[in-house]
Amino acid sequence: MNTLSSSSVGENAILVINCGSSSVKFSLIQPETGLALLSGLAECLLTEQAKIKIKLNNEQYKETLPSPFDHQAALTVLVKHLHQFNLVNSISAVGHRVVHGGEKYAEPALISEDVESAIESLAKLAPLHNPANLIGIKACQKAFSDLSQVAIFDTAFHQTMPAKAFLYGLPYELYKEHGVRRYGFHGTSHYFVAKQAAQQLNKPLSQCNLISAHLGNGCSVTAIKNGESVDTSLGMTPVEGLMMGTRSGDVDAGIIFHLVEQLGYSVNDVDQLLNKKSGLLGVSQLSNDCRTLEEAMLNGDTQAELALTVFCYRIAKYIASFSASLTELDGLIFTGGIGENSSWVRAKVVEQLALLNFHLSEEENQKARFGKSGNIAASNSRNCWVIATNEEWVIAEQTHNLLSSTQPIKTEV
Ligand code: AMP
């Protein structure tokens, strides 16, 4: 049996849980180093195909989940493996990714009944995500009843945005009475890569001015002034801004009336269209996957090329527009599955940013792939980094920091 001894691991690791409606991603992280001792994914939950994969020391364990195939079943199997791997006593707390913290949470929160109620009431702003996050919290409370649980909100980093950036041009009472405003997402990712860039610049994050582009299945650009988010492209929901894998990004709101009144779409049809059938998938009519589209483009598929061209232009346009939020700019960061791996997308974006004095080194751009980070700027350019994001590490670190500052961390399950 593959095991790690508690003495080699320490007793300080944080179990990081990212719970979706039909999946649970988990990892056990040392908060000081970011080292993942164990990681894995339970997917197809609530169906008979529910399964779990756990990775430990480069070995993978796969198992089908027992009935009722739910989040609790996944966590029960995870706990069994944690015991077998001799890792249970290493866990000091559980950190949960929670998508929407509204205006209430600009910082991590120790989960209590009040915090759970707040996450539940914020589900009206994130109906697909917050209820799933709560299921994970409740399942972990059962599975790890002696451990403190902490919520880390995806929206928290963007709570520093000024009103000029977060307000829509809508009647003010919609904001005051119903919370209709820009919140932004991917906050832990933008924060993590900004901190890494600050290290490269050898100055505190609070003195750094950056634009970060998180390009994955979901995509967003954030302007960071003196270490704080001052504008971001995702809005009240994760549909606004850049074109994404299957989400449209910005569209003229009038299109929705046209779809409903002229083309007979229902509200649900519009929702499916904008969230699931648009973006790279919608324009290419082939795939939401950037790799597939790049390959198709190289084989002469002009529709794939068109989708990628629209995608890259929108990114460049957002980056350029965020120069209005900043008075200085130390550099641009690419992260997320596409940002970290696609030298073609990076080149296409940056060639449209010459006015901002961004130019790439072709050689460095080609090298920075598959986990290799680096500065890919040409010598006559502003900095332009590829930085692998690590949201799990932020969740582990912030969970650890919150608990160290408020109470002794429990070490036994
Ligand atoms: P994420 O949501 O961050 O996991 O990113 C998923 C996206 O990254 C998908 O569109 C993938 O096609 C894309 N991606 C991953 N690896 C590569 C690669 N080597 N080249 C281009 N795109 C990639």
Ordered per-residue pLDDT tens for the chain, 413 residues? 455 544 455 679 999 999 988 899 999 999 999 999 999 999 999 999 999 999 998 899 999 999 999 998 999 999 899 999 999 999 999 999 999 999 999 999 999 999 999 999 999 988 888 999 999 999 899 888 999 999 999 999 999 999 999 999 999 999 999 999 999 999 999 999 999 999 999 999 999 999 999 999 999 999 999 999 999 999 999 999 999 999 999 999 999 999 999 999 999 999 999 999 999 999 999 999 999 999 999 999 999 999 999 999 999 999 999 999 999 999 999 999 999 999 999 999 999 999 999 999 999 999 998 888 899 999 999 999 999 999 999 999 999 999 998 654 443 33
Count up the domains in the chain and report the number.
2
Note whether residue 410 is domain-resident: no
CA 375/CA 386 separation, integer angstroms: 6
pLDDT at position 377, please?
98
Does a structural domain hold residue 334? yes
Q: Which atom of ligand 1 is nearest to the CA of 288?
A: 10
Give residue for tokens 């973006």.
279
The pLDDT of residue 4? 52
E-strand ranges in 7-134 read 13-19, 24-29, 36-43, 51-56, 59-64, 91-98, 109-110
Q: How far, in Å, from the CA of 346 to the mean position of ligand 1?
A: 13
* Phi, psi torsion values for 349, nearest 5 degrees: -65, -50
Same domain as 142, residue 272: no
Range(s) of the domain holding residue 118: 6-153
Q: Residues 149, 215: one domain?
A: no
Q: Which two tokens stand for residue 246?
A: 């299957």
My answer on whether 312 and 249 are in the same domain is yes
Q: Indicate if 216 and 353 belong to the same structural domain.
A: yes
Residues annotated as catalytic are: 154
366 lines ligand 1 (CB under 6 A): no
H runs (alpha helix) in 22-158 = 71-84, 113-121, 130-143
Structure token digits, residue 53: 């994969």
Residue 390, ligand 1, Cβ within 6 A:
no
CA 164 to chain centre: 24
Are 257 and 284 within 8 A, CB to CB?
no
187 Cα: distance to centroid of ligand 1 (angstroms): 19
The token duo for 141 is: 């409370």
Question: What stretch of H or E contains 312?
Answer: helix 302-321
Cα torsion angle, 275, 99, 349, 161, sign: positive
| H or E element, residue 386 | strand 383-386
Calculate ∠ Cα 169-170-172, nearest 5°.
Answer: 110
- Do 137 and 210 lie in one domain? The reply is no
Domain C-terminal end among 135, 153, 171: 153
Q: What are phi and psi of 175, to 5 degrees?
A: -75, -50
CA 342 to ligand 1 centroid distance, Å: 7
- Which of 187, 218, 195, 243 lies closest to 385 in space, CA to CA? 195
Place of tokens 């939950």: 45
Whether residue 339 has its Cβ less than 6 Å from ligand 1: no
Q: Please check whether residue 229 is in contact with residue 262, taking contact to mean a CB–CB distance below 8 angstroms.
A: no
**What CATH number has the domain bearing residue 243?**
3.30.420.40
Mutate to test the pocket of ligand 1, among 338, 342, 391 (most ligand atoms within 8 A of CB): 338
Within-domain flag for 402: no
Question: Ligand 1 centre from 406 Cα, in Å?
Answer: 39
Q: Is the CB of residue 15 less than 8 Å from the CB of residue 28? A: yes
372 CB less than 6 Å from ligand 1?
A: no
Mutate to test the pocket of ligand 1, among 341, 366, 390 (most ligand atoms within 8 A of CB): 341
Per-residue model confidence (pLDDT) at position 409 = 42
220 in the same domain as 147: no
* CB of 337 shorter than 6 A to ligand 1: yes
Question: Are 144 and 68 found together in one domain?
Answer: yes
Say how far apart CA 195 and CA 259 lie, in whole Å.
43
- Residue 143 shares a structural domain with residue 240: no
- Is 165 inside any structural domain? no
Q: Is 289 in the pocket of ligand 1 (CB under 6 A)?
A: yes
Ligand 1 proximity of 338 Cβ (cutoff 6 Å): yes
Residue 171 is assigned to a structural domain of this protein: no
Is 25 part of a structural domain of the chain?
A: yes
Q: Which residues are annotated as a binding site for ATP?
A: 25, 214-218, 289-291, 337-341
Is the residue at 193 inside a domain? no
Q: Are residues 125 and 13 in the same domain?
A: yes
- Residue ranges for the known binding site are 18, 25, 97, 214-218, 289-291, 337-341, 391
Closest CA to 285 of 315, 310, 263: 310
Backbone phi, psi, residue 358, to 5°? -105, 130
Structural domain contains residue 164: no
Q: Choose one of 153, 176, 211: the last residue of a domain.
A: 153
Burial 138-153 (b: 16+ CB within 10 A, else e): bbbeebbeebbbbbbb
Do 59 and 129 share a structural domain? yes
Strand 59-64, strand 51-56: pairing? antiparallel
